[in-house]
Amino acid sequence: MAMEKQALVLDFGGVISRTMFETHPITEQALGLAPGSLTWRGPFDPGSDPLWVDMQENRITERDYWRMRVAEISGLFGERWEMSDFVRRARGDDPMTTMRPEAVRTIEAAVTAGKRLAILSNELDLFYGQGFTKRFPLLSDFEVVIDATYTGILKPDPRAYQLCLDALKLPADRCVFVDDQRRNIDGAERVGMSAVHFDVREPKKSYAEVLAKLGISTDVLDVA
């Protein structure tokens, strides 16, 4: 008999927040770029994005990918930005505007069901800016935030998952881990965590799988 899952461990970018690919129109408007200027679409159109393909095939890292994209965009303005500069300029100071509604409903349902919450991110503050968690009210429900911006240990290194498990004081098989990168899902499964490979193209379907693993009704995803 499967053990009841006690904790939900989420990646942030792509899982809780919509990807930068999905918000190109918002970015173009915020930066004063002509509509359609940003043509790279990552997982939504890999053929448009050779750099994304390189990242998926492990020829470059995710940090490399975004470093090159940010250099490309900031160069249009004759400037050199960090990723956090790009995110702030593209999305403003209110992170709730780009949250996935399915994520919000799932997190609320998990809290109601008595599940514990954790974030395990490779670059939370690196990408979103130092002190981001304090500007994001939804994170108040998370008792554990492990951010490789500070630990220096990136998924899929098994030590990254262990840091989270140690903080939760739970065995791996009591946790459901969610990430949109296949390599990070493989890493979680190697340490014994139940995992959901989040499909950014089908967030509702992915969160339904998460809720099912937690033993929570998926009806919450249909609330208007």
The reply to whether 105 and 11 lie within a common domain is: yes
Report yes or no on 1 lying in a domain: no
Q: Give how many domains the chain has, as a whole number.
A: 2
Q: Where are the beta strands (DSSP E) in 56-197?
A: 116-121, 144-147, 175-179, 194-197
The reply to whether 160 and 61 lie within a common domain is: no
Closest to 30 measured CA to CA, from 67, 66, 73, 75:
73
What is residue 133's predicted lDDT score, i.e. its pLDDT? 67
The reply to whether 109 and 44 lie within a common domain is: no
What is the CA angle 122-192-126, rounded to 5? 5
**Distance (Å, whole) CA 100 – CA 156:** 24
Average pLDDT estimate for 165-175: 98
| 197: β partners | 179
**Distance (Å, whole) CA 53 – CA 172:** 31
Report yes or no on 109 lying in a domain: yes
Query: Is-above-0.85 flag for pTM?
Result: yes
Residue 173 maps to which CATH number?
3.40.50.1000
Closest to 17 measured CA to CA, from 131, 161, 133, 189:
133
Structural domain including 167 reads 7-18+99-222
The reply to whether 114 and 75 lie within a common domain is: no
How is the beta sheet containing 144-147 ordered, strand by strand? 144-147, 116-121, 7-10, 175-179, 194-197
For residue range 47-102, list pLDDT tens digits in order. Answer: 999 999 999 999 999 999 999 999 999 999 999 999 999 998 998 766 677 899 99
**Distance (Å, whole) CA 144 – CA 19:** 23
Is the pLDDT reported for residue 1 higher than 50?
no
The reply to whether 161 and 62 lie within a common domain is: no
Confidence of residue 174 (pLDDT cuts 50, 70, 90): very high
Report yes or no on 134 lying in a domain: yes
Is the pLDDT reported for residue 224 higher than 60?
no
Report yes or no on 2 lying in a domain: no
What is residue 185's predicted lDDT score, i.e. its pLDDT? 98
* Length reported for the chain: 224
More confident residue, 8 or 223: 8
